[in-house]
Structure 1
Amino acid sequence: MTATERIVLASASPRRLELLASAGVEFVVAASDIPEEPIPGESPADFSLRLARDKAFATAARIEGRWFIGADTIVVCDGEIMGKPADAADAERMLNKLSGVPHEVITGYAIYDKARDSMLAKAVTTRVFFKPLRPEEIRAYIATGCPMDKAGAYAIQGGAAHMVTRIDGSYTNVVGLPLCEVVEDLRLLGALGGA
């Protein structure tokens, strides 16, 4: 694959990297660095889509490639968009809010075809149900450090798996990339064989 025809993942997330690699997709990683603040009045899905598009565009502007994949995952509970916690106290607040109630995980993803100057973007939503969490359980999880770089202060694939009673929707979406949808769209756009 030549540099001008390659797929570029515009994310530093090791979870997204692992997911995309597990599907047999050949790609390179070039993380983007854009502000991740919602615009007042912006819906959660629009927020995640805007960030996904911005990440794909920002990366395409600075390196060679053909297809650029941007993604952003957020947790939404009672209308609050939960990004990564600012500190341990913020992580504890988030986990207390999620305790015993369902919430949504939304991943916006965008695939920018630089050669055609076209963008395909979608938001995928998964409903996640947490059991009621005990205060000591929350503190022990925060002490592992795992919540600090995760939207909503948890990772379903890691130490928080025992907190989740069920999910409705895509598991990989909760991890950080709705893999089925992304791979199918890459095929649709001609980035993978079998289109």
Structure 2
Amino acid sequence: MVDSAITFVLASASPARHRLLKTVGIEPVVINSDFDESSIQIDDPTALVEQLAKAKAEAVGRRLKDHPHSYLANGKNALILGCDSVLVMGGEIYGKPADKLEAIARWQNLSGNVGQLYTGHALLDLNKPKLLVLSRITHVHFATVDQEEIRSYVETGEPLNCAGCFAIEGKGGAFVDRLDGCHTNVIGLSLPLLRSMLRELGYGITNFWN
């Protein structure tokens, strides 16, 4: 029996991840980690997203341990999920573009090509305590996009806030031909992987349904 008092915490301000969790019946408490992602520089994309996800979950975990009642009534009895995503194309790691010019240049590379979307997941159980860190890869086949479409898409501002410079659940979905692998992983959180991680920690995803 899972303690009903445990709180599911999303260590991310990402609206897309929040929506995904709500889709499967989890209403998380959102606590942005405020972790400086530039402090971790790793060339291997798997190691990078896993380290960033771990750092975000642990940052929120420290906050809850130090000030348990400032954030939650049962602050020390929390399950914390940290995530991070990057896109890899031709051996180059893409995070969020710095500006519109970089976004345009990046889409000129993405057009008609295949990238690999890596998402790291860190699930921290403060009560045990125990930490699981795993990642998943999805291959993204991008459509051939012309210059006018690229400029118009970048002008919407959507790709400026996304790892890999696109949001498949938004306007960017029109520029993706197909996916090989987990669809929700591309949105920023693999729901099948989360279910597996919850089970490994002794929980069921249905335990968090409202």
Give the TM bin, normalised by the shorter chain: over 0.9
Could you tell me how far 1:35 is from its partner in structure 2?
1.6
Could you tell me how far 1:81 is from its partner in structure 2?
0.9
C-alpha distance in structure 2 between counterparts of 1:79 and 1:185, whole Å: 29
1:67/1:191 contact within 8 Å kept: no
Query: Which one-letter code corresponds to 2:106 in the other structure?
Result: M
Query: Which one-letter code corresponds to 2:187 in the other structure?
Result: V
- In structure 2, the residue matched to 1:54 is 55
For the pair 1:170 / 2:182, whether they are aligned, the reply is yes
Correspondent of 2:145 among 121, 133, 147: 133
- In structure 2, the residue matched to 1:30 is 31
2:198/2:205 contact within 8 Å kept: no
Using the TM superposition, name which of 15-24 and 111-120 deviates more.
111-120
C-alpha distance in structure 2 between counterparts of 1:84 and 1:27, whole Å: 25
Using the TM superposition, name which of 52-61 and 41-50 deviates more.
41-50
Using the TM superposition, name which of 73-82 and 179-188 deviates more.
179-188
Q: Aligned to 1:132, what secondary structure does the other structure show?
A: coil
Could you tell me how far 1:67 is from its partner in structure 2?
1.1
Q: 1:193 to 1:10 in 2, by over 3 A?
A: closer
Q: Aligned to 1:76, what secondary structure does the other structure show?
A: strand
Within a 5 Å distance, the mapping from 1:2-13 to structure 2 comes to 2=5, 5-13=6-14
Could you tell me how far 1:36 is from its partner in structure 2?
1.4
1:187/1:194 contact within 8 Å kept: no
Shift >6 Å, 4+ stretches:
none
CA offsets per residue over residues 12-71 of structure 1, 9 Å max, x none?
Answer: 000000101111124211110112137555300100000000000000111224211000
Aligned alpha-carbon RMSD (Å): 1.7
Query: Which one-letter code corresponds to 1:76 in the other structure?
Result: V
Query: Which one-letter code corresponds to 1:57 in the other structure?
Result: E
Could you tell me how far 1:194 is from its partner in structure 2?
6.4
Q: Aligned to 1:180, what secondary structure does the other structure show?
A: helix
Within a 5 Å distance, the mapping from 1:38-117 to structure 2 comes to 39=40, 42-63=43-64, 64=75, 65-117=77-129
Could you tell me how far 1:190 is from its partner in structure 2?
2.8
2:42/2:48 contact within 8 Å kept: no
TM-score norm. by structure 2 comes to 0.86
Correspondent of 1:149 among 161, 168, 187: 161
Correspondent of 1:183 among 182, 195, 209: 195
> How many pairs align?
193
Query: Which one-letter code corresponds to 1:54 in the other structure?
Result: A
Q: 1:194 to 1:92 in 2, by over 3 A?
A: closer
C-alpha distance in structure 2 between counterparts of 1:183 and 1:39, whole Å: 27
C-alpha distance in structure 2 between counterparts of 1:26 and 1:192, whole Å: 15
The structure whose residues are more often helix, as a share, is 2
- In structure 1, the residue matched to 2:171 is 159
Using the TM superposition, name which of 140-149 and 177-186 deviates more.
177-186
Could you tell me how far 1:184 is from its partner in structure 2?
2.7
Q: Aligned to 2:116, what secondary structure does the other structure show?
A: strand
